[in-house]
Amino acid sequence: MQNLDSSYAKPFLSIPAQIRRLRTRGMDCGSDEFATAVLERYGYYRLSGYWHPYRQFQPAPAPALNDEGRENRLDTFRPGAKLAQVVSIYDFDQQLRTRLSALLSQLEISLRFFIGHRLGAIDLFAHRKPEVLGALRPAEADKAPEPTTTYTDWLDEYERHESRARDEFVLHFRGKYGPHLPIWVATEVMSFGVLSNLYTLMPQLDQEILAARFQVNTADGKGDRGAFSNWLNAVRVVRNICAHYGRVWNRVFDVIIDTPGDTRNDDQHLLHQLGTSTVSNRLYGVLSILRYLILSIAPDDRSVLDVVEFITSQAQQIGFRLHRLGFPERWENEKLWDPSFRLDSRPMKAASLLDQAKSLTTAQVRASLTGAEVLPEKLSNDERKNELAHKAARYQLLRTYLRYGCLIEIDLGKTKHYPQFQFRDGKMIDAVGDTNQQLTRRANGAEKTALAQALITWWQTPNPDLPVSSNGQATSPEQLLERVTEGKFREAVDRVNATDTFIL
């Protein structure tokens, strides 16, 4: 006989014995026929989580909570407890899981695209290259850098998912190109847990860009990658519970939802309620971040509102209090739940521009402006002073470019980005600066993100009047600039009045 390491010794109970136990403890089970049908359909153990709130509290002086932080309750039920009521709550919870799964799928699909698209712009197989992700240990004296344990563990888990994938598009890729999938296909075969862990492996700047895209920001305005990672983990936990038919009603989740940095000291922030202990690990907190995240993707979407309306109507009909799901007092007065409320759409547009055009941050641009000239009187024999003088010159040169509207600048989460094609040989390309300045003046004070979008679109749109490429294809101004000198670029653009195609 196998010796099991368990102290569990409660006896097996038949269905009639289960019904007798419930009645002995004070549960109104209705007829034997009804109670039998219920227990055979759902199971005693599964329903126990739903009748738990109907059990009586331990009388004083017993503490309200036990050593595990759970409510101290007796096995006996409060007067009026009915099995039919428990079944109504279970059926509600089942419908709630279905509705939540649809919400989570909506968010998950977008995340698969954003992560795959962002990494794909870096490398087709970024997920298989720890050096691209920045997931290497520092090199030792006589050893090459090795992948971190976190990365190797992640890759093992991902490869299990990839090897099991049998979708038609996966078989097509394998048959045509080989066994491994490019990142934008790979994200489609990952579990949500593998996908969210890949987010934490992305380069820091890319994590911040993705967090800022969803307007999850730190106190200083950068994308809050820590909070965003926490949110993905919270969503993952709820998704897994729904997928395995777990209880959502009256549940305290294992993950405590983090408040982004810009929320913590702002009582007026949409998500300030996340700082409340009864919200941060309950369904209300999850619904709050889902409402926020989905509004970032689709400003007119009301799917989360529909789920909240379902919950409130069922609470009245069945007869349970919303605080069981973490809803705080006067929650309905929060701006987040106003059907007419919209999030600012500019961060999502700005992030899309960063996907479209490889860009540099302010610090990266300053470091790259090695062509900045230092006035002779600023130079000396002191190497440290000369270094500071060159640094000041780079700062001043960038400010000058911006003052005269010569650079395309993309603002995201208070971090400024500049498309890389504008720079060459340690300075801004003069032809780019002159063209940007001309088009910016024509825009006549347009909103900054809209202007950046229009400028990038002009630079990247093929123009059939410009000289074609070597294979006869129409080229964009940006592509032409890569092939010819500045003088020839100006000549070609002026000859066909290419700036006339600029549209804001």
Return the DSSP state at 180.
Answer: S
Burial readout 317-327 (b: 16 or more C-beta within 10 A, e: otherwise): eeebebeebbb
153 close to 159: Cβ distance less than 8 angstroms: no
3-state secondary structure of 28: strand
CB 449 within 8 A of CB 350: yes
pLDDT, residue 440, reads 95
Strand pairing report for 423-424 and 73-77: unpaired
Q: Which of 139, 148, 240, 259 is nearest to 201 (CA)?
A: 148
pLDDT tens series, the chain, 504 aa: 456 677 766 888 999 999 999 999 999 999 999 999 999 999 999 999 999 999 998 887 777 676 666 677 899 999 999 999 999 999 999 999 999 999 999 999 999 999 999 999 899 999 999 999 989 988 776 777 899 999 999 999 999 988 888 888 788 888 888 888 999 999 999 999 999 999 999 999 999 999 999 999 999 889 999 999 999 999 999 999 999 999 999 999 999 999 999 998 888 888 989 988 889 999 999 999 999 999 999 999 999 999 999 999 999 999 999 999 999 999 999 999 999 999 999 999 999 999 999 999 999 999 999 999 988 888 888 888 888 999 999 999 999 999 999 999 999 988 999 999 999 999 999 999 999 999 999 998 899 999 999 999 999 999 999 999 988 999 999 999 999 999 999 999 999 999 999 998
Across the beta sheet with 359-361, the strand order is 359-361, 415-419, 410-412
* Domain locations in the chain as residue ranges: 15-81, 92-328, 352-501
pTM confidence score: 0.90
Structural tokens at position 414: 């208070």
C-beta of residue 293 within 8 angstroms of C-beta of residue 214: yes
Exposed, middle or buried, 144 (CB in 10 Å: 0-12/13-18/19+)?
A: exposed
What residues form DSSP beta bridges with 419? 359
Nearest by Cα to 210 from 113, 295, 74: 113
Print the SS3 string covering 380-394: CCCHHHHHHHHHHHH
The pLDDT of residue 144 is 79
Cβ atoms of 107 and 293 within 8 Å: the answer is yes
